[in-house]
Amino acid sequence: MDAVNLLCFDLPGLAAYCEQLGEKKFRATQLFRWIHQKGASDFDQMSDLAKSLREKLAGRAVIQGLDVISEHVSADGTIKWLFDVGAGNAVEAVFIPEDDRGTLCVSSQAGCAVGCRFCSTGHQGFSRNLSTAEIVAQLWFAEHNLRRRQNTTERVISNVVMMGMGEPLQNYDQLVPALKTMLDDHGYGLSRRRVTVSTSGVVPMIDRLREDCPVALAVSLHAPTDPLRDQLVPLNKKYPIEELLAACNRYLDKAPRDFITFEYCMLQEVNDAPEQAQELVKLLKGKVSCKLNLIPFNPFPASGLIRSTNARVQAFAEVLIQAGFVTTVRKTRGDDIDAACGQLAGEVQDRTRAHIRMVRAPVTVAKSQ
């Protein structure tokens, strides 16, 4: 019988497992703290656990992280790790240090089946969903690795964004226990406001997340109209903008923040004209409580797209700001190590014929004069 990886359990799941071993629930809390708060991987380290329990665990369970294939450190302090998830697949996680926070960008899938035009991961295709243990292992490794490097026992990672490889809401059943582990006071103790799930717009799963584990929500919008979004975010053909915005409004009822973040990747002469900014204002104003995050496109050869000039980004932002929207332009971090937004690619044994699927005609859009 294969050993159970205890990283796969949230606290209720671990309590149920301990009960199967004939142990009381409070033992699960002790064990959970050792794993997530102290980074222990050896049961013999867990000095306040009964020896009988440690012996049971040693024969049945493991605390197994992911093997690190490579680590790259950017000039700006960003760190990117490539993790082996087996069968030729590898996923990436990125730590972004700032003065007031430390953010970890976590992957949820080996590849991505959504196939957004501007995303390097999508061009690699899709192999499989990550398990809960593989999602949590990225945080478990990063947090305790960084503590050792910084010679501290204090928490280093204050924010987690599910913005790495994959569409998190297409791996819902594995995602939610991972989120609950991140939020649990006996685990990483992160605030729901500081854990963000980013989605391309899987409407039914947005509704489920609202009920099961409402954390901060970011939505990859990237276009003000359905015809253009159909080209940039193919999922839009299934869940068009009107349905997506309705789901966002429903989500706000239980969200930890009183706004949705809409992400908008700035693509030269595709979605960055001032007229398109006005269309975005018309689409959103008075309809969804939101903030807008404009993201400089990080080019890669297969995309056929170009990053908007700074002047076009600023002109676009100015239209939104004048209309009363809180608007930020994301600072590009880690682009010298391909760790910036849209650049994560890892290694993917594609099962979806992405090399054929992603060969498309240029994006068509009426250019502004």
Query: Which residue type is seen at 231?
Result: Q
Q: Are 356 and 115 in contact (CB under 8 A)?
A: no
Say how many C-beta atoms besides its own lie within 10 A of residue 139's C-beta.
22
What contacts 204, CB < 8 A, 6 or more positions away? none
Residue matched to tokens 């890892």: 346
Rounded Cα distance, 350 and 122, in Å: 10
Q: Are 16 and 31 in contact (CB under 8 A)?
A: no
Rounded Cα distance, 140 and 133, in Å: 10
Structure-block tokens of residue 140? 């478990």
Label residue 360 exposed, middle or buried (CB < 10 Å: 0-12, 13-18, 19+). exposed
What contacts 215, CB < 8 A, 6 or more positions away? 179, 183, 192, 195, 196, 197, 209, 256
Catalytic residue among 8, 112, 213, 341: 341
Catalytic residue among 92, 134, 143, 263: 92
Per the annotation, the verdict on 92 as an active-site residue is yes
Catalogue the active-site residues.
92, 341
